[in-house]
Amino acid sequence: MNEQQKKIRAMLADRKGILLVHYYARPEIQEIADVLGDSLALAQAAARSDARVIVFAGVHFMAQSAAMLSPEKIVLLPRLDAGCPLADMAGPDAVRKMRQDHPDAVFVTYINSTAEVKAESDICCTSSNALKIIQALPPSKKAVMLPDGNLARHAAAATGREIIAWEGCCPIHQALTGEDVAARRREHPRAVFAAHPECRPEVLALADFVGSTSAILRFARETKAMEIIIGTEKGILTQLAKENPEKTFIPASDALFCDDMKKISLDDIERSLTTMQPVITVPRQVSEAAKKALDKMLAVS
């Protein structure tokens, strides 16, 4: 640990705080995490923790979810501009309108969404529990999944259920093409390919494994393959390399880099713990409804 990392750990101890870090965050922040995890693990950690302060090294919707799951805690997001373009692809008015068009459908909302959209939903999901949540719905029910169309199509194909897809996407995963994957496979003919379900259907069709960030980490530990092409944001390579020093990980494309997930630096965390700002809060009316959808997800997970 360098001096600044030590200082941040001491400040966290002093404020009874914990640092929750997503696998896509900068390596020097991953190193000092209390919990390093995928979206689901971080939401579960926020709900269970008895800390007084949660510092989130992720993006805005993750900190919002933590604030709703732990309303008694102070939730800090060191950079307010760390957003998620996918989350911004669905707004509450459009979701209300779609509910009118599909009055009998269950609205399953990806955690990569705003609190206002979660508040219009029946249940949330992440990429690690989406299939389980769809399978737990009554068989006669059709589902609307939002805002990630690729995740919705993957869930429909994997479960055989009727799912209406909202046409949003993560621009980072969407940028990965089948041609990129084919090129990497030509360069590394013995490699297997693991992809996140936010990738396009043509990319998922080429994958040896499809799963969330934590599922990709599990796959990488368990596979006998020594070379693995990775179809998700490059930040995950830090943990993949740490857990599997003998294996080689190849990003499926150089474009798999999320600026938003890399915004928060050690300086930002130190400043945030000094000023105890910016605090993420959600208006009570919104959070009451949105938390119900999050709680239902956690109950099924």
Q: CA 298 to CA 61: how far, in whole Å? A: 16
Q: CA 193 to CA 244: how far, in whole Å? A: 16
Q: CA 186 to CA 235: how far, in whole Å? A: 24
> Least distance in Å: CB of 100 to ligand 13P?
29
User: DSSP letter string over 33-80?
Assistant: -SEEE-HHHHHHHHHH---SEEEEES-HHHHHHHHHH-TTSEEE-S-T
Q: 47 and 80 in contact (C-beta within 8 Å)?
A: no
What's the token pair of residue 120? Answer: 């219009």
> Least distance in Å: CB of 206 to ligand 13P?
19
Nearer to ligand 13P, 109 or 112 (CB): 112
> Least distance in Å: CB of 128 to ligand 13P?
6
Nearer to ligand 13P, 128 or 272 (CB): 128
> Least distance in Å: CB of 148 to ligand 13P?
8
Other Cβ atoms closer than 10 A to 186: 8
User: DSSP letter string over 211-237?
Assistant: --HHHHHHHHHH-S-SEEEEES-TTHH
Nearer to ligand 13P, 126 or 239 (CB): 126
Task: Point out which residues bind ligand 13P (CB under 6 A).
Answer: 38-39, 112, 126-128, 170, 198, 212-213
Q: CA 97 to CA 107: how far, in whole Å? A: 12
Nearer to ligand 13P, 49 or 126 (CB): 126
**Residue 194 β-bridge partners:** 209, 230
Side chain identity at 189, as an amino acid letter?
A: P
> Least distance in Å: CB of 186 to ligand 13P?
27
Residue 166 DSSP label: P
Nearer to ligand 13P, 21 or 229 (CB): 21
> Least distance in Å: CB of 285 to ligand 13P?
26
Peptide bond before residue 27 is cis, with ω within 30 degrees of 0: no
Nearer to ligand 13P, 69 or 105 (CB): 69
Nearer to ligand 13P, 148 or 268 (CB): 148
Nearer to ligand 13P, 121 or 127 (CB): 127
Other Cβ atoms closer than 10 A to 282: 22
> Least distance in Å: CB of 25 to ligand 13P?
11
> Least distance in Å: CB of 239 to ligand 13P?
11
